[in-house]
Amino acid sequence: MISAILTGDLLKAQDIVPVAETILTSMIKLAVPIEGESRIYIDSSDGLRNNQLTGLPINQTIDRSFASKIPARDINRNFYLRFRITNDTDTSTRLFFLPGFYFREIILYKLIDNGEVSDSLPAISGPGNENNFNPIVGEIKLNSGESATFIARLKFIKTTVNNLRPMLSQDFYLPSLIASIQNERRISAIITYLICGIMLMMMIYSLAQFFANRSIEFIYYASYGTLLGIMFFLKAALYKYPTVENFFFESYADFMLQATATIFYFLFLIKFVNAREDFPALNLVLKALQYLTIAGMAIFTYLNFFTNNFPLQNLIENLIKYSWSFCTVFVISYSIINRQSILRYLAIGHSFLFAGGLLSLFLINSSQRFTDARSALINDSLFWYELGILFELVFFLVALSVKNKQDISARAREKERLLMDYEKTAIENKMAVLAAKQEERNRISADMHDELGSGVTAIRLLSELAKTKMKEPILPEIDKISNSASELISKMNTIIWTMKSSNDTVDNMIAYVRSYAYEFLDNADITCKVDYPDNMPAVEMSGEKRRNIFLCIKESLNNIVKHANATVVTISFRLGPHLVIQIHDNGVGINPDKIREFSSGMTNMRKRMETIDGYFGIRSNDGTTITLSVPLQ
């Protein structure tokens, strides 16, 4: 079945039979081709009178290639056909002469016995087609036993789809004959409609991609697919329909649709692969081909509407199409050299497009065919071009899938980069705030040391001086002033130590606690031991944590001095994920009955540790052990 479709065997008409040298009406049951019985003359002049027709050398046989294609050089010339018919029946006969479909003029003359030429016989659209078609047939009437010679003058429209296949048909069979010829490409038409449906889906998909991503290249591709789809549809729907609209389409509009679609495809390709930035050489070639195509369209338009120079018009069209083939070869070569994944898949699609386009151009510009069957699918130039477009669409979808994956990865990387930049900026801002806070802390601690510290120290010195100058008894208020000043100096030193950012380390806190504990317990005649790691790592600790830990240790030492009756106090520091501090004394321990006496101090210590996400614990074990723990991270 597939072989029959490709070779056109299914399309061979069974009702067309060869005839003898002189055409006998009795042999025309339905319709017959008359190429072999006709003679032809091609003339470039355009002013012959009727009486000059008999002198024309109409004695050449019709070239068989004319059945497939009329050379471009002959399109503007007048074709003269001569054939002789004998009515060998016993009744008058009415026949129709059908040379083809794409003629702008068909004039049929009948030679009279005296050698003169009759007036032109009317050319009509054919029975049943009066309102649809331009005149395409000449009407012939012969009486019984009458023989006559006819000359037909034919002028083609400006198109490469012209051919010459003269036929004679019975009047009742003409509509069926026209319909059968128009439907000889029915398999190709079905394929064309399928391609149009695919291109319609691609247009919808491209528009959806545009509205989803706001990428202008998909508008270009939708325009490309739409224009090609319209061209393919009209090619199939208007095949051999001799209407003014189809004549305009075949002679002018089909190339303009194809050229405009190609320009949109170049625009799409430039944007799709970002050729302007990533592939400047490709961008330059595609831009040049756009301008060349636009110039070719302008020249083609001028030649079509204002001159009769069809060979030059056809040459311009072919040059533009061959330039597209060159561009396709360049894209393929460029893709191989660059080895970029998107270009690779586009190059594969372009390879099919190049092969299909080249075969299509060969069939358009050559009279040679792959088989003798005129209606064979493999002899249809449009079929090969559509096949190339179809594979180009398939590999475009593959390239689009690859590009979408790359875009998703790129967007993810960009999102990650923006997130990192945001986090970096947030960290920098936080560091700037911390730096400003530390600077302010350092300034306040310096001011407190220089201003308040000197003032409180002066109060304590003056109170001590007053005590030495006074005779006994010393006023208790002066002792209170001196003690309060000393206590205030100690608290102020603690605040200054807390606020200075240079002290924000664990080892600095341990050194400060050790110094304070030795001095404080020494005044109470209690031995102090401090255990800490020999190799102290540089671990940062905020001023808030240092202050709360120190105040908890200070409160613990105060309670030991007041209530424990201890002689030895051991303070140990252990570092890990947490800083763990244990304060142990060898005193009387904690009596559960008297725990309420210490409830306020212990509550404050517990709250202080909770504010820095720490832990506070107390137990009695050969004295009292207080445990403080705080995370270092």
DSSP string of 109-127?
A: EEE-TTS-BPPPBPEE--T
Q: Which residue has the higher pLDDT, 197 or 460?
A: 197
Residue 593 domain flag: yes
- Residue 14 clears pLDDT 60, i.e. is over it: no
Rounded average pLDDT over 297-305: 95
Question: How many whole angstroms separate alpha carbon 165 and alpha carbon 42?
Answer: 15
Maximum average pLDDT range among 191-200, 447-456, 500-509, 594-603: 191-200
**Residue 261 tokens, joined:** 């679609």
The pLDDT-based confidence of 168 (bands split at 50, 70, 90) is very high
Same domain, 199 and 316: yes
Regarding whether 619 and 509 lie in a shared domain, the answer is yes
How does residue 46 score in pLDDT terms, banded at 50, 70 and 90?
low
| Cα dihedral 191, 192, 193, 197 sign | positive
Q: Is residue 346 part of a domain?
A: no
Please tell me the predicted confidence (pLDDT) of residue 17: 37
Question: Is 207 found in the same domain as 119?
Answer: no
- Assess whether 168 and 193 both reside in one domain: no
Structure tokens, 184: 């000889």
Residue 119 in this model has a pLDDT that exceeds 70: no
Inside any domain, residue 449: no
* Confidence (pLDDT) at 300: 96
Q: What is the distance between the alpha carbons of residues 231 and 298, in angstroms, rounded to a whole number? A: 19
Q: Report the distance separating Cα 410 and Cα 423, nearest Å.
A: 19
**Would you tell me how many other CB atoms lie within 10 Å of the CB of residue 133?**
19
Question: Do 153 and 268 share a structural domain?
Answer: no
Q: For residues 628 and 614, what is the distance between their CA atoms, to the nearest angstrom?
A: 7
Least confident of 177-181, 279-283, 322-326, 396-400: 396-400
Record the pTM.
Answer: 0.64
What average pLDDT does range 614-627 have in this prediction?
88
* Residue 251 confidence (pLDDT): 92
Position 604 in a domain: yes
Residue 213 has pLDDT above 50, yes or no: yes
For range 116-141, the mean pLDDT: 65
Answer whether residue 199 is part of any domain.
yes
Q: What percent of the chain has pLDDT over 90?
A: 23
Between 374 and 360, the more confident residue is 360
CA atoms of 142 and 137, how far apart (whole Å)? 16
pLDDT of 6: 40
Q: Does 443 map to a domain? A: no
Residue 9's pLDDT band (cuts 50, 70, 90): very low
Kindly indicate the confidence band of residue 272, based on its pLDDT and cuts at 50, 70 and 90: confident
Please report how the helices 476-499 and 454-469 are oriented relative to each other, as an axis angle in degrees rounded to 10. Answer: 160
Among the listed ranges 247-251, 358-362, 578-582, which one has the minimum average pLDDT value?
358-362
**Cβ-based neighbours of 283, under 8 Å, separated by 6 or more:** 270, 275, 276
Both 296 and 198 in a single domain? yes
**pLDDT for 546 beyond 90:** no
Q: Are residues 79 and 126 in the same domain?
A: yes
Tell whether 51 and 116 lie within a shared domain.
Answer: yes
Quick check: 256 pLDDT over 90? yes
Residue 95: partners with Cβ closer than 8 Å, 6 or more residues away: 25, 28, 85, 139, 140, 141, 142, 168, 169, 170, 171
* Domain end residue (candidates: 286, 307, 339): 339
Q: What is the mean pLDDT of the chain?
A: 82
Predicted confidence (pLDDT) per residue in 450-502, tens digit: 556 566 666 766 666 666 766 666 666 666 776 676 667 667 767 767 766 67
If you count them, how many residues does the chain have?
Answer: 633
Question: 203 and 301, same structural domain?
Answer: yes
Structure tokens at 428: 């920098």
What total of structural domains would you count in the chain? 3
Q: Does 287 have pLDDT greater than 60? A: yes
Q: Are 608 and 548 in contact (CB under 8 A)?
A: yes
**pLDDT bracket for residue 131 (50, 70, 90):** very low
Question: What domain range is 282 assigned to?
Answer: 185-339
Residue 242 maps to a domain: yes
Please identify, among 122, 150, 182, the residue that sits at the C-terminal boundary of a domain. 182
Q: Is 201 in the same domain as 88?
A: no
132 and 235 in a single domain? The answer is: no
Lowest mean pLDDT among 48-57, 400-409, 413-422, 574-583: 48-57
- Judged against a pLDDT cut of 80, whether residue 130 lies above it is answered with no
User: Per-residue pLDDT for 304 more than 90?
Assistant: yes
Mean pLDDT of 272-295: 91
CATH of the domain at 25: 2.60.40.2380
Query: What does the pLDDT average to over 310-321?
Result: 93
For the chain, the first-to-last Cα distance in angstroms comes to 80
- Both tokens assigned to 350: 């372009």
Q: State residue 323's pLDDT score.
A: 92
Q: Which residues pair with 103 in a beta bridge?
A: 156
Stated as kind and residue range, the H or E segment containing 137 is strand 137-142
Higher confidence at residue 294 or residue 105?
Answer: 294
Residue 200 has pLDDT above 80, yes or no: yes
> What CATH number did the domain enclosing 573 receive?
3.30.565.10
Average pLDDT over residues 85-97: 91
Instruction: Assess whether 220 and 146 both reside in one domain.
Output: no
CA-closest candidate to residue 546, choices 481, 598, 499, 489: 499
Write down the pLDDT at residue 244: 86
Domain-embedded: residue 208: yes
Q: Which helix (H) or strand (E) holds 257?
A: helix 254-272
Predicted local distance difference test score (pLDDT) of residue 288? 94
| The two structure tokens encoding residue 437 | 């806070």
Domain end marker among 147, 166, 182? 182
**What are the backbone angles phi and psi of residue 55, rounded to the nearest 5°?**
-90, 0
pLDDT tens readout for residues 566-614:
999 999 999 888 899 999 999 888 776 666 555 677 888 889 899 989 9
Give burial (CB, 10 Å; 0-12/13-18/19+) of 341.
Answer: middle
The set of residues, in sequence order, having a beta carbon less than 8 Å from that of 278 and lying 6+ positions away, is none
Nearest one of 25, 99, 117, 109 to 62, comparing CA atoms? 99
